Amino acid sequence: MAQTLIEKIISAHSRAEVKPGDTVDVKIDTRVARDFGGANVVKNLQRAGLGIDDPERTLFTFDCNPGGSDQGYAANQQFCRVFARSHGVPLRDITEGIGTHLAIDEGRVWPGSTFVSTDSHANIMGALGAFGQGMGDQDIAAAFAAGSVWFRVPPSVKVVLKGLPDAKATAKDLVLEMARQLGAKGLLGRAAEIYGEAAEALDLAGRITVSSMATEMGGIIALFPPSEEIVSFCSQTTGRDVEFLAADPDAHYEDVIEVDVEGLLPMIARPGHPEDVVPVSELAGRKIDSVFIGSCTNGRIEDLRAAVRVMAGRKVAPGVVLKVVPATRVVWTQALEEGLIEELMAAGALVGNAGCAGCAAGQIGQNGPGEVTISTGNRNFAGKQGKGEVYLASPETAAASAVAGVICSVDAIPAQAVEFEIGGGRLPVIADTPQKETDGGSKPTVLTGRVWVIDRDNVDTDMIFHNRYLAITEVAEMGRYTFDNLEGWEDFATRAKPGDIVVLGANFGCGSSRQQAVDCFASLGDQAVIAVSLGAIYERNAINAGMPVVVADAVSAGLENGVEITVDLVTGTIKWPGGKVQGQPFSDVQMEIYQRGGLL
């Protein structure tokens, strides 16, 4: 049977010829837990009395908070250190940088291999033609203990980048244009293979940039067929011959999507939505407060070189803060040896420890209320990188904007930086958030309860459970923070009652791999979540936690807030007085996990 890239990789790791929709047990070559999520992985193993399948294939990485500057992170890091020592598990401590990049550079990933992590951007492994997947705490605990996890084979789509971009466009501009044309759920639940002359021309750093943002389009992964450069790189890092991997010529794709990139110019994503993308020229002149260059998307040496080329001989604009965070210690050292750090410092930049930075609450890169930031990260969800406005752009555009003091492209940097006007400050209004705690509920197969209808698409995990609370590991404490970053629903926890059922729109739970975005509903005692569609990692986390999630379009069926509904998990039928909608029934795997109270 002809197969796509994802089907070939999963078949090779499950000893079965798979097709889309199959659920199989997949052997995992490398299993990683980070400093957020890692403590919960260990706790899950301890509660279930489980050990480690293969310590050498297992790894802890501390990349969210390299300084351990938050007591919660520091405690979790030490908890993981002690466990790693006692079980002989390798650990990359706060000095080393982003775990996914370490895995790539250390040869723990290669074309055709499998990798899972508590990092929702583990799918950057698609840059190598490898399978990478972000997963929640229970999934990773299962992978640590068994060396494998269950996985549902996704359908594949072929994405063809048609044409060649302008010479000023970068890999980041390509992926931002993909997000613009495909939207936040354009790849929802699917594995994308990336083709076209523009794709073939990308080096490893560029492919990482594109693959890392598959998550922002709802995709499972964005895979590149390995080039000669990638195969040579992986042969060096692994110390063995690495074979080319390609889809069969007659492989079946659910869809073939053309993304027109002919003549593409530098692009930028407006605050709140990675897919809300326009040409940089459209926003030129917007005054900025800060710039962040780094993240797993744009923190490699090539990205730092690009930024320094733009800034050579220039200074950061007065009043603007430039924060630069290399992806790994090796990148940091290389940048030091090449003189890049010296040039960045001379320009006025703050260069931080290697790590994730702005995407996580405990590292430099966060912004304050009213602050306008240009970021090279992959997400700009409201509140994700702070309470200000975050625009996504390439390192080149970010560097140009830093020296200009306003949003601008490289070819439009003014001779004189734009400074702040005296008396032009923006004073935000900060409101308190009410808090409440409640107890959990039960797990029948027919559920009846009062419904909350939240008619929103693309409600991401930072809206559900913000990253500033990630150090919380006790489920009982999580409920009070549910939706406190979702505009109009900040007081949800004070109004919710045990037994409630929450109904939402499409792509619910997109974004991070955090388990807390599921557990907060259990903490409140909510019985179930119903959504038009679910983010791939979120769906896994809910299933593995034994939290009922049902895929159904109850929003457009006329269901109103406060109505009592009945949900049959076996049939997927949802009923209420005067209305009915058919949802997806529980699969055998989902029901089995649900009935025993969770994956572990």
Encode pLDDT of 148-195 as tens digits: 999 999 999 999 999 999 999 999 999 999 999 999 999 999 999 999
Q: Looking at 381-390, 398-407, 452-461, which range is the least confident one?
A: 381-390
For the stretch 221-239, pLDDT in tens is: 999 999 999 999 999 999 9
For the stretch 393-447, pLDDT in tens is: 999 999 999 999 999 999 999 999 999 987 655 545 444 433 333 333 468 999 9
**Among 219, 162, 213, which Cα is nearest to 188's?**
219
What's the half-sphere exposure (Cβ side, CA atoms, 13 Å) at 359?
Answer: 29
What pLDDT, on a 0 to 100 scale, did the predictor assign at position 471?
79
**Among 211, 139, 145, which Cα is nearest to 179's?**
211
As a whole-number percent, the residues of the chain with pLDDT over 90 amount to 85
Q: Which residues pair with 392 in a beta bridge?
A: 269, 375
* Residue 357 φ then ψ, to 5°: 65, -125
Identify the band that residue 362 occupies on the pLDDT scale cut at 50, 70 and 90.
Answer: low
Q: Which residues pair with 373 in a beta bridge?
A: 290, 390
Q: Looking at the predicted structure, is the pLDDT value of residue 103 above 70? A: yes
Residue type, 566: T
| Sign of the C-alpha dihedral computed for residues 378, 382, 383 and 386 taken in this order | positive
Q: Could you give the 3-state DSSP secondary structure of residue 541?
A: helix
What pLDDT, on a 0 to 100 scale, did the predictor assign at position 424?
55
- In what helix (H) or strand (E) does residue 373 lie, and over which residues does it extend? strand 372-375
Q: Collect all residues with Cβ–Cβ distance below 8 Å to 580 and sequence separation of at least 6.
A: 557, 573, 574
What pLDDT, on a 0 to 100 scale, did the predictor assign at position 50?
97
What is the spatial distance between Cα 25 and Cα 250, in angstroms, rounded to a whole number?
26
Identify the band that residue 37 occupies on the pLDDT scale cut at 50, 70 and 90.
Answer: confident
Q: Looking at 257-271, 377-391, 459-473, 518-532, which range is the least confident one?
A: 377-391
What pLDDT, on a 0 to 100 scale, did the predictor assign at position 434?
38
DSSP state of 327: S
Q: Looking at 71-80, 255-264, 452-461, 498-507, which range is the least confident one?
A: 71-80
294: left (phi over 0), alpha (psi -120 to 50) or beta: left
Q: What is the average pLDDT across 577-599? A: 94
What is the spatial distance between Cα 39 and Cα 26, in angstroms, rounded to a whole number?
24
DSSP calls for 59-83: EEE--S-TT--SHHHHHHHHHHHHH
Q: Looking at the predicted structure, is the pLDDT value of residue 523 above 70? A: yes
What pLDDT, on a 0 to 100 scale, did the predictor assign at position 437?
37
Q: Looking at 66-70, 157-161, 214-218, 340-344, which range is the least confident one?
A: 66-70
Q: Looking at 82-96, 345-359, 361-375, 507-521, which range is the least confident one?
A: 361-375
As a whole-number percent, the residues of the chain with pLDDT over 70 amount to 96
What is the spatial distance between Cα 122 and Cα 117, in angstroms, rounded to a whole number?
6
Burial class of 600 by CB neighbour count within 10 A (0 to 12, 13 to 18, 19+): buried
- In what helix (H) or strand (E) does residue 448 lie, and over which residues does it extend? strand 446-454
* Residue 278 φ then ψ, to 5°: -140, 165
Higher per-residue confidence, 477 vs 435: 477
What pLDDT, on a 0 to 100 scale, did the predictor assign at position 440?
37
What is the spatial distance between Cα 35 and Cα 39, in angstroms, rounded to a whole number?
7
Q: Could you give the 3-state DSSP secondary structure of residue 280?
A: helix
Q: Looking at the predicted structure, is the pLDDT value of residue 538 above 70? A: yes
Higher per-residue confidence, 47 vs 72: 47
What pLDDT, on a 0 to 100 scale, did the predictor assign at position 585?
97
Residue type, 9: I
Q: Looking at the predicted structure, is the pLDDT value of residue 249 above 50? A: yes
For the stretch 137-150, pLDDT in tens is: 999 999 999 999 99
What pLDDT, on a 0 to 100 scale, did the predictor assign at position 422?
79
* Residue 579 φ then ψ, to 5°: -155, 160
Identify the band that residue 68 occupies on the pLDDT scale cut at 50, 70 and 90.
Answer: low
pTM here is 0.85
Domain architecture of the chain: domains with CATH: 5-260 (3.30.499.10), 268-412 (3.30.499.10), 446-595 (3.20.19.10)
What pLDDT, on a 0 to 100 scale, did the predictor assign at position 65?
79
Higher per-residue confidence, 351 vs 439: 351
- Strand residues in 182-299 grouped as ranges (E): 191-195, 221-223, 255-260, 267-269, 277-279, 290-293
What pLDDT, on a 0 to 100 scale, did the predictor assign at position 430?
40
Strand order in the sheet with 221-223: 221-223, 191-195, 156-162, 255-260
Q: Looking at the predicted structure, is the pLDDT value of residue 64 above 90? A: no
Number of residues in the chain:
600
What pLDDT, on a 0 to 100 scale, did the predictor assign at position 566?
97
Q: Looking at the predicted structure, is the pLDDT value of residue 90 above 90? A: yes
Greatest alpha-carbon span in the chain: 71
For residues 447 and 308, is the Cβ–Cβ distance under 8 A?
A: no
